[in-house]
Amino acid sequence: MVTVYWVFTSLMGIATLTALIPGRALGWWVPLWFLVSTATNELAVWGLVMHLLMFAIGVTFFDPSDPFVRSALCVLMLSCLGTLILLRRHFESGRQLERALKVGLPANFEEMIPLDRRRLLSRQITAKDWLHPVSFARPGVRRERNIAYGEAGKRNLLDIFTPVRPGSDRPVLLQIHGGAWLVGKKEEQALPLMHQMASLGWVVVAINYRLSPRATFPDHIIDVKKAIAWVRQNIHKWGGNPDFISVTGGSAGGHLTALTAMSGNYAPWQPGFETADTRVQAAMPLYGVYDFCNRVGIRQGTRIDDYIMKKVMKSTPEDDPEAFDLASPVCWVDGEVPPLFLIHGSHDTLVWVEEARRFVAELSAVSSTSLVYAELYGAQHAFETVHSPRTSHYLNAAAWWLEWTYADWCAKRP
């Protein structure tokens, strides 16, 4: 039993290290590092409880003078210290997000939000959310499932989250799931955000879309635009305002979010619905891929490029440079984009933060539109899929930003 205890505590220490240290160029170890790091990082509150429990077991049921037990207890103490560092990073993310909003938005952005809406927003977080990391439901929210927006079966279904209380002309948020363009579905991601915004009076739409390897780009973005066209035509039935559609998503969904924001009404990606208005009024991409060509070599040492070529594009930049350019949000950079709020974690193992930095630099050099960029120190890929102190801060910031985009849009309407 002593050996089992020593092995378990050693694994806990290794897990804490993966969350503290960015994993880079790890080859086939990347998925494992990501999964262990994300679980350890985002469940740090419960990790701290586990450390204290394991320490109590060690001093109660084992002999602390045993070398294996003593070394296990030392590892636990160091790992517990590391977990406290992780938690400090969680709570510090609130200041990072608030600073990003103040830098990227007008100085009076809070006052631009109507008072009745502003009263619903907060910068405080409470333990009732992040002590229940996979409990997402909010009171007063209704969810209607599996509504068809296209003809691709279950890959063209969407869910709609609405407030229970009656209303009309509510702003709309469309969520695009991630999953490396290969896996994922509308029920799995961004549930904290979707329930939060619906509870604040928004209409939220979560979509499926066709996936690789069966689907080849641009099938994915065509489906997103088809969903936007459907929402614009039908969302009034659920109390939504078809004239204001914001879009968000993480990872592959972050890539599609950015591409959607920058390619509004691009007819070749609207086959059969070329005249539909697929422009969006705001976009919030999270930890996305912004350049399919890896032009400046940011992703050296990763396998993303081979994966994109073989599974998603089914060609190479040399064989079809135009297709790769069109698939890259960085190649759509110009001044005609809606307000953007980009969020990326500094410890992202799957999509390195330098990709977001370069995209922001390219965009800020030419765009006159509002651009907010928040880099969250210590955050991993997919950090906001469960409730944590960091997720709670993110939800607050996202709500402030989304409410500002809608208020600003309303103020500029003719």
Tell me whether residue 90 is one of the annotated catalytic residues.
no
* Catalytic-role residue among 129, 159, 219, 348: 348
Give the three-state DSSP class for 330: helix
Q: Note the Cα 69 to chain centre separation in Å.
A: 41
* Catalytic-role residue among 37, 79, 251, 388: 251
**In whole angstroms, what is the distance from residue 289 CA to residue 104 CA?**
21
**In whole angstroms, what is the distance from residue 156 CA to residue 153 CA?**
6
313 DSSP 8-state letter: I
* Catalytic-role residue among 90, 195, 255, 381: 381
Question: What are the E-state strand segments in 167-295?
Answer: 170-176, 203-207, 240-250, 282-286
Tell me whether residue 387 is one of the annotated catalytic residues.
no
What type of residue is 408?
Answer: D
Long-range contact set of residues 364-371: C-beta below 8 Å, sequence gap at least 24: 366/333, 366/334, 366/335, 367/333, 367/334, 367/335, 367/337, 368/335, 369/335, 369/337, 369/338, 369/339, 369/340, 370/104, 370/105, 370/339, 370/340, 370/405, 370/408, 371/104, 371/339, 371/340, 371/342
Q: Considering just the CA atoms, what is the radius of gyration of the chain in Å?
A: 22
Tell me whether residue 251 is one of the annotated catalytic residues.
yes
Q: Which residues pair with 286 in a beta bridge?
A: 250, 343
Q: With CA atoms as reference, report the closest residue to 284 among 380, 148, 203, 403.
A: 403
Q: Let me know: does 358 contact 298? Beta carbons within 8 Å.
A: yes
- Residues with active-site annotation: 251, 348, 381
